[in-house]
A and B are shown apart, each in its own frame.
Chain A
């Protein structure tokens, strides 16, 4: 602590004792007025404080059920507190090697394996399948063995096919590597940027341009778990709409 700062404080023996005995705050949201609240889709839709990070932090069981786990609140928090991963007990994620190749694609079990398997074959790429990872975004929990997984992937060129894998493992989304892959997509119209990839919007838009799409508008302020807009959809979760996964083709070289 700087000397100037200490001079601003009345330092007493009891204050020093408090400093020595200070306890970590586990859930900062309890003390917050809701700095992130305007980013929360369930709050914006309902107007209900209970269906906001303030409610979810106080009642984790409601968070587990109602929060969309879109992670939009996290970058809004000055502490970057990851509230959505506190609703359930942590999980272990397992990486299964399906086939060797370069680059390696990473699919999430229960989300995109069928599509990933087909694309890996067409690109002559390798394939990992991550099991258990989806629970982070369904139930709201942390990945207990995250550093172990990251260690395993270190030094390997890995691309994800879902926002979930990109977000949790901090690996590039496939469109971010568009320049290096023989992909094409004939599409003209708006695109929806997934909540989990908002910080990568520019690279994704660049990737879409490289593979031949003509993007006329960018939708960033809605979550697919609430409604699917009439736009190009990059989330494999969406069961309807113009899905990247149905439209993407591999160019023959």
Chain B
């Protein structure tokens, strides 16, 4: 990529001057930044394999510094990758010999408009810190992905994240009002001159950046919708004879406008592992601003659930889920890793007519050599369908890993599902993107080529 005249020492000196010494090229630091939370990269690391190392890491403190860094990368034709919480699971931040631009020192809340219910933040703010700040003012982002404790806002936008309460409050794309972005060539794309709830002013940069995974520049600021903390809630769980009946119940609930904040249907295997109850369990949380409205919805939902054979199973399962919902380490530590096994989560989304077929065909992956468990739940519901989320346990072996992925992608693509509902593409899924979106991938690549003529913005991923 870079010309023969490239001199790493000179690049590093200029880098240091831009960020006032807030950078590092020490091998230990490069190793820490050599991966995100992609299970395969983690597996390679624990097996002692060296991952591709970046060239340096910089911690800018302002959009202006990011501009200078990106311009420097363009000048020297050094690739760069933005880095926020590092909690992604797809290897999107793995970028050999690149400059890692870690935005976490850009972590200010610039403005909370209580009157207009939005907040303007720098992209490096940790999600949990933002939520705590909003809560102290009576507001909430209501965005709780499993990575809530360790994710930062910029990464969530770049991944196109959803949270566990998305059925009511939407994915991150529904929360982003506007973005400030440093383009791949170092130009600053500012926020709009106004914050408006919606505008028909042509295509929007924010739509391009949502899910861009660092390939189209660096998100530096975000204006996000916030909500007043809902004062009334209802929690309950219901057991169904079949996964399908539970799905049909939630379909009717969602399509009747009874939208819960959280709805999660665990199949028998997932329920037995997580709750010690081998029934298809539906977990429900409703949140409202009016008690009579909540009561009316609960009454209607109870009627729907009962019609599909759902039996009340109590609040205990909801509380247990709430307690454990960000805990990704306990089972790994107690059972999976000690037994020489490994883990993966694969999420898809499909329309209602395809969900059951995908569920049953995907579960057959358990028959594959080296695979020991395939647990499934449905979460994130929409009028037209839902997300299916599979948790797999298998032999800690890279060949088994890729066998699983090839089969999983075949199953979802042949049965009308997407290759990813919210984890993204990164290095992991890039070979399957064309199979899903077809020639539009070429048009997206043309957009990247136009914005990134030097091919420095997180290269080697789905957009080239």
Contact = CB atoms under 8 A, between A and B. Distances in A.
A253 interface: no
Contact of B273 (A8, A15, A33): A8
Interface string A1-29: 01011011110100100110111110010
A10 B149 contact: no
A76 to B, nearest CB: 7
A48 B59 contact: yes
B147 A4 contact: no
B330 A79 contact: yes
B339 A76 contact: no
A37 B329 contact: no
Interface string B73-90: 000000000000111000
Contact of A15 (B33, B147, B338, B372): B372
B102 A28 contact: no
B326 interface: yes
Contacts of B150: 33-35, 37-38
Interface stretch (A54-62, A124-132, A136-144, A148-156): A54-62
A66 to B, nearest CB: 12
A62 B28 contact: yes
B86 A34 contact: yes
A32 B45 CA distance: 13
Interface string B120-132: 0000101011000
A30 interface: yes
Contacts, number: 132
Contacts of B126: 37-38, 44
A46 B24 CA distance: 12
A78 B85 CA distance: 19
B359 interface: no
Interface string B396-408: 0000000000000
Given A5-B276, A47-B107, A78-B327, A33 B37 contact: yes
Interface in B280-339: 324, 326-330, 332-333, 335, 337-339
A177 interface: no
Q: Which of A25, A33, A37 has the most CB of B within 10 A?
A: A33
Contacts of B366: 10
A4 B278 contact: yes
Given A34-B149, A34-B150, A28 B373 contact: no
A35 B271 CA distance: 24
A31 B332 contact: yes
Q: Which of A23, A28, A32, A55 has most B Cβ within 10 Å?
A: A32
Contacts of A44: 126, 129
B372 A35 contact: no
A196 B85 CA distance: 26
Contacts of B199: none
A32 B149 CA distance: 11
Contacts of B330: 78-79
A12 B271 CA distance: 21
B71 interface: no
Nearest to A22: B338
Contacts of A76: 149
A10 B372 contact: yes
A19 B339 contact: yes
Contacts of A62: 28
A22 B338 CA distance: 5
Nearest to B36: A33
Contact of B333 (A4, A7, A28): A28
A168 B338 CA distance: 30
Given A5-B272, A7-B269, A33-B328, A49 B32 contact: yes
Contacts of B329: 28, 31-32, 35, 77-79
A180 B255 CA distance: 63
B interface, size bucket: 35 or more
Contacts of B419: none
Contacts of A77: 329
A36 interface: yes
A50 interface: yes
B29 A50 contact: yes
A104 to B, nearest CB: 38
A48 B105 CA distance: 8
B78 to A, nearest CB: 20
Given A19-B339, A46-B105, A31 B128 contact: no
B272 A4 contact: yes
B337 A25 contact: yes
A183 B45 CA distance: 56
Contact of A58 (B32, B278, B340): B32
A59 B150 CA distance: 20
Contacts of A4: 268, 271-272, 276-278
A49 B328 contact: no
B149 A35 contact: yes
B12 interface: no
Interface string B131-151: 000000000000000010110
B87 A33 contact: yes
Contact of B338 (A24, A47, A58): A24
Contacts of B33: 49
Contact of A8 (B85, B339, B373): B373
Contacts of B328: 32-33, 35
Given A2-B272, A31-B332, A55 B86 contact: no
B327 A47 contact: no
Contacts of A58: 28, 31-32
A139 B128 CA distance: 29
B373 A47 contact: no
A250 to B, nearest CB: 38
14 contacts: A4-B272, A7-B278, A8-B273, A25-B337, A28-B333, A35-B327, A35-B328, A37-B85, A37-B126, A38-B126, A50-B24, A55-B32, A62-B28, A77-B329
Given A31-B333, A34-B150, A35-B326, 11 more contacts: A5-B273, A8-B272, A8-B278, A8-B373, A10-B371, A18-B339, A37-B126, A37-B149, A44-B126, A78-B327, A78-B330
Interface of B: 24, 28-29, 31-33, 37, 42, 46, 57, 59, 85-87, 102-105, 107, 124, 126, 128-129, 147, 149-150, 268-273, 276-278, 324, 326-330, 332-333, 335, 337-341, 366-367, 371-373, 375, 393
Interface of A: 2, 4-5, 7-10, 12, 15, 18-19, 21-25, 28, 30-38, 44, 46-50, 54-55, 58-59, 62, 76-79
